[in-house]
Amino acid sequence: MRPLVVVSVLAPQERGPGPNRKVVVRFVDQPELRADAKRTFRYLVNEEAGCPDVTQFVGIVEPCRAPDHSHTYDEVGYIIEGEGFAHIGDEHVPLGPGSCFHLAPEQVHCIENSGSTVMRILGVFHPSGDPASRSYDEAKVTNP
């Protein structure tokens, strides 16, 4: 028997549930969407599921390192599977199953999959956002 892992992220409720609220969403029932050539994701909870305050998704990252970028929202990620690094400013922190990271809005970062198989990340954004929405502002972003 495998252990049960519980991951919790709290976000302020700014708006109530939407009229199309879904209580249960299954990963396999969600369409796979492309973030870029090497990254896909599936929404679990978002505005379309009646949750206007946060977005929860599973990101699937092939072995690669994307360009450094930032988002307009808070992001919390939990590594379900795979290994790599969180590149945040001058820090390069190893990631593996069970690792959790927090990125503040506009914080320049990159999650690298340095393994030989896919990395799966359970992510949460607040306020609700799109995993494919990124800023590559040359003035803010430098690649090491």
Residue type, 80: I
Domain boundaries, the chain: 35-126
**CATH superfamily of the domain spanning 35-126:** Jelly Rolls (2.60.120.10)
Q: How many residues does the chain have?
A: 144
pLDDT tens-place string over residues 85-111? 999 988 999 999 999 999 999 999 999
CA dihedral 46, 48, 51, 55 (to 10 degrees): 10
Higher pLDDT, 11 or 79: 79
Q: Which residue has the tokens 């699937």?
A: 60
Q: Within a 10 A sphere around the Cβ of 118, how many other Cβ atoms?
A: 16
**30: three-class secondary structure by DSSP:** coil
Q: Which helix (H) or strand (E) holds 95?
A: strand 91-95
138 confidence band (pLDDT: 50, 70, 90): very low
Residue 56 is predicted with a pLDDT of: 93
Contact 39, 61 (CB under 8 A): yes
Indicate if the pLDDT at residue 137 is higher than 80. Answer: no
Distance CA 116, CA 36 (A): 19
Summarised one tens digit per residue, pLDDT across range 37-88 is 999 999 999 888 888 889 999 999 999 998 898 888 899 999 999 999 999 9
Q: Can you tell me the distance from the alpha carbon of 99 to that of 43, in angstroms, rounded to the nearest whole number?
A: 21
**What is the spatial distance between Cα 63 and Cα 38, in angstroms, rounded to a whole number?**
8
